[in-house]
Structures are given as C-alpha cells and as structure tokens.
Structure 1
C-alpha cells in the first residue's frame, strides 16, 4: 500500500508538536503516492483527539503501553505494521524514535533514514534529507521498495500543516499476546527538575552566545533583558561553559522556542541553534562579525559593539 504511518508522541495525555509536524509531511507524501495517512497511537483514552489530518487512527489499548517501554512499544508497533503494511513509517527523532527505528528496521525488514530534516516523493521513491555531524553536512537518501522508516528531527516541518480539525475514524486492534508477558517494565519515571523560568512560553527572549566574551559580560546582556522584562536564554556554548543553566538553552539539544521577538547578542548562527529559534516571528541579531551566518536569517541586524549598544539601549528602554 502507498499509505504513510506516523507514530504519535505524547507528553502525558498531550500530543507532541513533532506529531503534527510529521502529520503535515505525511499528508504531502500520501497525496503524491495516492495513499492515505494513518496514525499509530498507544495508551490514550481518546485516540481521535486533534488528529484530523489523518485518514485513520490505529489504536492498541493495553496496560503495558501506558508508559513508554521500548520492548512493549516495539511489539505493538510491529503488530500494527504487519496489519496495516504502510509504505513509509515516520518516527520522531528522539529517544522513542531512535530506540524503535533501528530495531524495527531489522524485524520489519525496512531501510531506515535517521536525522531527517527534508522529505519528498520522487515517483515511487521517498527522498530523505538527513543531517550529519550536527547539521554540518546534509545527505540525500533514497528509500526504494515497498517499505521504509524515517526518524524526523523536531522542527524540520511546520506543525500547522498537521493541525486539522475533524473526526478521524479509529481502528482498534487486538493487542498482541506478547504484551501480556513483557520481559521489561517501567519501575520509576524520574522527571527532570524544572528550570527557574520556562523560556518556551515567553513571548520575547533576549539570547546570548559565546561571542560576548566571558561570563562576566553576561551582566551587560542581563540588563537589557531586565529592561525589557523578559527571560535571558543562550546558545549551547554558553550552557556548556556553565554560565547559565540548561533550562535556558535554545537549540537542537536544548529547547525550541517561538517568541514574537528574539533578540540575540554574540550568536554566530550555527545550525544547532537555528533549529531551536528559526520560527520566531521577529529575529534581531547583534554580532561584530558581518559575515556571521546569523545575518542570513535575521530580519534586522547590527555589527556595532555590544558594549557600546547596551548602555544606550537600556537608557532608551528605561525612558
């Protein structure tokens, strides 16, 4: 069949943004192949909620699937794949997808493309663009044949395309017998400690990179953030250096943010950081290096020195 299947991800009872991102691109592929979009959804009481972009929701309900356990999810998903035989399976490129993708590639006998940031149909082929070395290299991979697996990087596709209202038919499969006697089970879920502020909820952010020089210079940027009454966030090098806590990190290995305005100082524009903030409505960059890649994505930018700009900016903001 030419159908495309998406494994829905959940945080508690809420569907993840990556689920809708995958649904949007799945719809494009299924349309090109003359197929349909199916969603595999485990362990929720309302399997049709918010999944109007799909033609069918395939659900399995079993106590072993109430929390994510790799063994149980692999058994359940392989059962779904054998019953529904999709052309392509899309998984999130996170702990779940990286767990399941490699094992299902063997047990379902399907080629896998990981770290996918682009995906399109070329006749009967699926062409996946994959990131290598943290985004420094991109490679195009063909997935020929009647089946394939892609683990899709969060933020690679717009979530809005997958957020479609409407009722979705639900097919409930009987759980496979192997779920009754799993060899592994979840003993304890340890939640990470919450940060002092949730930067993903901020409507505006001031962000800082290692280009500011040293931790002593954070105070200068903090004054700007305080004058605007917004949180201070950072790129990965600042976090790795211990200048700010992990909860303030924006980027592929940190948090994805979508503020109305994103004001940054000393950030060069590495792909790892861009992946976390490129959807901001307004991007303003300050970097003394005129050739910094950040100026390719910023709506406004300046190359003036931070320590000349900051006092004047704070004075203006404080009136």
Structure 2
C-alpha cells in the first residue's frame, strides 16, 4: 500500500494537515510519499527537512508553482502520480485540496471520496468513513483502489513521526500547458491590529446572529470575556464583520484556550479553522447541529436570551 500526500505549506512552514494525513496513512500500513510544490529548489529542500515520518519526499520547484496555481499544481500532481503509481492520493479538505482532488480524479480516471475522517483496509481495497450532509451524518464506503481522497482536518491528531526526514527528490514535469498565471497576491488589510491566531479567547458568531443590528450584543459579550470577536464565513460574506475576523479554511486557523460560539452550525469549512481549540463551547438552538459533535460543552437554547444574561453575569463579577 502506497500513499501520495500533497503537502501544503505557508511562509516556509508545512501545514499540520500534512502530518494528519501521514498518521492516517500510517494507520493502514501505507508507505507514505509526500509531494511539495514550491518556487525554487532551496525552498523545497527547507520544507523537506520538516517532513519527518515520511518514507519519501518529492518536490516540483518552479516559479509557476511558487504561489498556488491550481492548473500548474494539478499538472505537477498528476506527473507525481504517473511516476509513483500510488494506491491512494490524499489531499486535505482545504481550498487547494478540493481543487486538486477533483481534477486529479478526472484526469487519472480514479474514483474520489471527499470529507474522509478514517480509513481501514478491506479485502477489495479501502473502507473509508466520511462526513455527509454537512457533517450531520457519517457514511462508510468501500473505495476501490487506486483512488483519490480529501481528508477532513482533525482526522488524526497532528504530529510528525520521529526520525530523520528523507532526502527530497526533484521532479521536473512540463508545466508549459498551464495557462493560468498568478498576477498578484492580495493580503487582508490588518490596520486594526486584529490577530485571531494569537488570541487566547475567541467569541465567534454565525449566520443565526441575523444582522449587524445584533452585533452590539456579541461585542458586549466579547468585551466582558476580554475575547476577540470572530465570525463564520456567512457572517463575513454578509459584511457584518471584516474578513480579518473570519475563522475557517478560507479565514484564519485558530487555537485559543477558549472558543465560544453562538449560532454556528458546524460546517466542515468552519471546523477546519477552530477544531484544535483547547476548550470549545457551542450555543445553538438546533439540538441536531453538527457543532455539538465537536464541542466539549454545548447548550441548545436561544442565543439572544443567553448572551445578554452571560454578559451581565460576567460584568457583575459573579462569574
């Protein structure tokens, strides 16, 4: 059994999801190969030194993939698949991972399964557990090999294995067929100084907040907690809070000591950004909301009754 893992990275640091997928692949006894795509050989070698536990690491170092370019990276990934013939290709359930997995499945004529949380061996290949209906249910699927999967963040607790990192082997696929070019990288304006990634406590509101007229309630509780106020993607898309305050795969990944949320359903996009928090508390009127499966504590109640009461309790000094 051989697994090829697409290794995401940012600012010279390998993403935790690479090690989550590594540990998941190791749990089924797979030989694990990593693929790095970056702008130059020096960066590839530096990233490769972080990949302890991998059995082999390949890299495509080319300015065309220096910044994430889905068309070019897909060409690189397909070339790695043709070279290594893995039984299963694993990408994270992330913006890049979803891009690549679907495209690779079509181009390599392999079956694909998304939202994977666990893998087991069976007589015909793999048995995969995955989330369906936005995480409200799980399904078990017999997945014939070779295959492509997108793996949910948190499928395994992140952590590299011991030992030396393998040497990086350079691949040189022909990327000239990529018509897409990255013209500009735009970073969010953070003149406000907000840094959710460094916050010890975060209070996050979801779509159920209803609108900007309810923001003062949320802001009051965040102030009473001395916490940063954050929002799920629907809140940001609606313009109720600025982008810099978004938690999730297309926002900021956070690990506070306390993550309190109200009106957040628990979509995979959001879970990816906050599931490593030390203490997760959820408020949601829907008893069946997927977030209750991830929260350490939760209450199914009206957030507009609880938030003011909790704020008053904190401000009174009786917390």
Q: Structure 2 length normalisation: TM-score?
A: 0.80
CA shift for structure 1 position 227: 3.3
Name the SS for the 1:72 alignment partner.
helix
1:64-143 → structure 2 map (5 Å cutoff): 64-143=64-143
Partner of 2:41: none
Counterparts of 1:100 and 1:210, CA distance in 2: 29
More off after superposition, 298-307 vs 189-198: 298-307
CA shift for structure 1 position 269: 4.1
Counterparts of 1:158 and 1:290, CA distance in 2: 28
Name the SS for the 2:259 alignment partner.
strand
Match of 2:263 among 261, 264, 267: 267
Partner of 1:17: 16
The question of 1:54 aligning with 2:54 is answered yes
The question of 1:316 aligning with 2:313 is answered no
Partner of 2:179: 184
CA shift for structure 1 position 149: 0.8
Q: Is the 8 A contact 1:286 1:306 kept in 2?
A: no
Larger Cα Rg: Structure 1 or Structure 2?
A: 1
Counterparts of 2:158 and 2:99, CA distance in 1: 23
Name the SS for the 1:279 alignment partner.
coil
Counterparts of 1:94 and 1:210, CA distance in 2: 21
Name the SS for the 1:82 alignment partner.
helix
Partner of 2:241: 244
Counterparts of 1:214 and 1:103, CA distance in 2: 37
RMSD: 3.1
Counterparts of 1:55 and 1:77, CA distance in 2: 18
Name the SS for the 1:18 alignment partner.
helix
CA shift for structure 1 position 114: 2.4
Counterparts of 1:283 and 1:106, CA distance in 2: 38
CA shift for structure 1 position 171: 4.9
Q: Structure 1 length normalisation: TM-score?
A: 0.80
CA shift for structure 1 position 94: 3.1
CA shift for structure 1 position 26: 1.6
Counterparts of 1:65 and 1:133, CA distance in 2: 34
Quick one: structure 1 residues 136 and 36, their matched pair in 2 at CA, closer, same or farther if it must change by over 3 Å? same
Quick one: structure 1 residues 40 and 274, their matched pair in 2 at CA, closer, same or farther if it must change by over 3 Å? closer
Q: Is the 8 A contact 1:4 1:37 kept in 2?
A: yes
Per-residue CA deviation, residues 127-149 of structure 1 (Å, 9 max, x unaligned), is: 2233444334543332213x111
Counterparts of 2:83 and 2:210, CA distance in 1: 57
Counterparts of 1:59 and 1:297, CA distance in 2: 35
The question of 1:7 aligning with 2:6 is answered yes
Q: Is the 8 A contact 2:188 2:243 kept in 1?
A: no
CA shift for structure 1 position 185: 5.0
Q: Is the 8 A contact 1:90 1:149 kept in 2?
A: yes
CA shift for structure 1 position 296: 5.5
Which ranges of structure 1 fall in alignment gaps of 5 or more residues? Answer: none
Counterparts of 2:171 and 2:233, CA distance in 1: 45
CA shift for structure 1 position 150: 0.7
Name the SS for the 1:159 alignment partner.
coil
Which ranges of structure 2 fall in alignment gaps of 5 or more residues? Answer: 39-43
More off after superposition, 20-29 vs 72-81: 72-81
1:208-223 → structure 2 map (5 Å cutoff): 208-211=205-208, 215-223=212-220
Name the SS for the 2:48 alignment partner.
coil
Partner of 2:152: 153
Q: Is the 8 A contact 1:114 1:150 kept in 2?
A: yes
Counterparts of 1:187 and 1:305, CA distance in 2: 47
Quick one: structure 1 residues 122 and 281, their matched pair in 2 at CA, closer, same or farther if it must change by over 3 Å? same
Counterparts of 1:104 and 1:12, CA distance in 2: 26
